[in-house]
Structure 1
Amino acid sequence: MSAELPLATRGLACRRGRQLLFSGLDLGLRRGSITWLRGTNGSGKTSLMRILAGLSQPAEGQVLWQGEPLRRVVDAARAGTVYIGHSNALKEDLTLAEAVAFLAALAGLDQPLPRAQRALELMGLASRRNAPVRTLSQGQRRRGALARLALDEAPRAWILDEPYDALDQSSVQTLSGLIEAHAARGGLVLLTSHQSVALNGASAFDLEPFRAA
């Protein structure tokens, strides 16, 4: 990512059904940044993240990727973005290693299975790599989904919706280390979290001032 602001919004507005959640939102995410997106329940945090990831359309305004409207460069933006939402996006009938390797292959990474095995080891799941996803606990599935972040070191945009949910303290520390290392190599991170987590260099962005009256 060479642009100073790889990911930005201009005058963004979002609706859920007939309800206007927020409007006039200008946001710029810089390389090497960690941004904690904050707001009350229903303020539109998840909706904003899905718009930034190219999974939903805004009601007004636009998202910019590398200075270009996202709709014009959607393939490049998706290749440069990792989005992890509330759904863990792991195929139930595959083993955990196969499911994470599938995500690696979708991202165009070489040697997807060895990458997946290394990522699972980092997330403390080496002993469960051959277990079918459907047999895993909620915490194990969450760690399996987050292993996607350890598959490569490209400075992508990470958009993480409640990534700390269902994690034990050791896994919280591992995830925080991954996030800080990613920012240090020039990636950017936008995340939400209901729990307080210490992240070096993180700044907050509050959605409340942009909420509709």
Structure 2
Amino acid sequence: MELEVRNLSVSRGGVPVLEGLSFRLAPGRALILRGPNGIGKTTLLRTVAGLQPPLSGEVGLDREAMAYAAHADGIKATLTVAENLSFWAQVFGTGDITPAIDGFALDELRNRPAGGLSAGQKRRLGLARLLVTGRPVWVLDEPTVSLDVDAVAMFGAAVRRHLATGGMALIATHIDLGLDEAEVMDVGPFKAKPPKVEDFDEVFL
């Protein structure tokens, strides 16, 4: 199984932002997406993850094989750290939360309500959810936001372990995660051409 994207074009608010993207991601590999803010990296990731339809092109992998993580941490404030992870483990049908607790150094926080965590701790908990999904493809949008240097290293180690077991990762980030298994793709050359004047009205239909 691999993630293959073929001639993909995506839009934001009905306006094309990226077009003609093709890439292949094999087991054990990561692809880092780079490009200026606003160019469409988030839109691309959401489209690959099946959260919005493409304008054209194909994503050759079942969305059920993917775990998506973006700016929202996806945690329930009234539940403890352990309860949050247990909830998501039940949703994804996995079970053991120990690797997630250990992977992001959450043991001392396991009984603390998530609402009382700092921004960085919430982010670590949100990323720890990836470890209970059991899904082979991680689609990640700026995952290191709010993380300090030590937490970034934890995240990088978690990605490397995921890749070592045959997983894949598609990541939009400006941070060097130290992943020897990663290739880098600049999405700048795939910026969509502005719509023609006669096509402008169609954008809003």
Q: Decide: shared fold, TM above 0.5.
A: yes
Given candidates 182, 197, 200, the residue that maps to 1:202 is 182
- Aligned residue in 2 for 1:123: 104
Contact 1:97 1:117 in 2 (8 A): no
Q: Does 1:106 align with 2:86?
A: no
Per-residue deviation, 1:99: 0.9
Given candidates 160, 167, 192, the residue that maps to 2:172 is 192
Q: Does 1:142 align with 2:127?
A: no
Per-residue deviation, 1:18: 3.6
Compared with structure 1, are the counterparts of its residues 155 and 33 closer, same or farther at alpha carbon in structure 2 (3 Å cutoff)?
Answer: farther
Task: State the alpha-carbon separation in 2 of the partners of residues 8 and 29 from structure 1.
Answer: 6
Per-residue deviation, 1:149: 3.0
Task: State the alpha-carbon separation in 2 of the partners of residues 18 and 82 from structure 1.
Answer: 25
What runs of 5+ residues in structure 1 fail to find an aligned partner? 66-72
Task: State the alpha-carbon separation in 2 of the partners of residues 49 and 94 from structure 1.
Answer: 29
The structure having more radius of gyration, on CA atoms, is: 2
- Aligned residue in 2 for 1:8: 4
Identity %: 36
Once the two structures are superposed, residues 83-131 of structure 1 have per-residue CA deviations (whole angstroms, 9 ceiling, x without a partner) of 111111111221111111111111111xx3xx22442233112121111
- Aligned residue in 2 for 1:42: 38
Name the stretch that deviates more: 88-97 or 154-163. Answer: 154-163
Alpha-carbon RMSD across the aligned residues, in angstroms, is 1.7
The residue identity in structure 1 corresponding to 2:74 is A
The residue identity in structure 1 corresponding to 2:143 is P
Task: State the alpha-carbon separation in 2 of the partners of residues 179 and 170 from structure 1.
Answer: 14
Contact 1:156 1:187 in 2 (8 A): yes
- Aligned residue for 1:61, secondary structure, equals strand
The residue identity in structure 2 corresponding to 1:151 is V
Compared with structure 1, are the counterparts of its residues 11 and 122 closer, same or farther at alpha carbon in structure 2 (3 Å cutoff)?
Answer: closer
- Aligned residue for 2:4, secondary structure, equals strand
- Aligned residue for 2:97, secondary structure, equals helix
- Aligned residue for 2:68, secondary structure, equals strand
Task: State the alpha-carbon separation in 1 of the partners of residues 162 and 102 from structure 2.
Answer: 18
What runs of 5+ residues in structure 2 fail to find an aligned partner? 194-205
Q: Does 1:95 align with 2:95?
A: no
The residue identity in structure 1 corresponding to 2:116 is T
Once the two structures are superposed, residues 161-180 of structure 1 have per-residue CA deviations (whole angstroms, 9 ceiling, x without a partner) of 11111112222112111111
Given candidates 147, 151, 157, the residue that maps to 1:177 is 157
Task: State the alpha-carbon separation in 2 of the partners of residues 181 and 121 from structure 1.
Answer: 13
Q: Does 1:159 align with 2:151?
A: no
Per-residue deviation, 1:28: 1.2
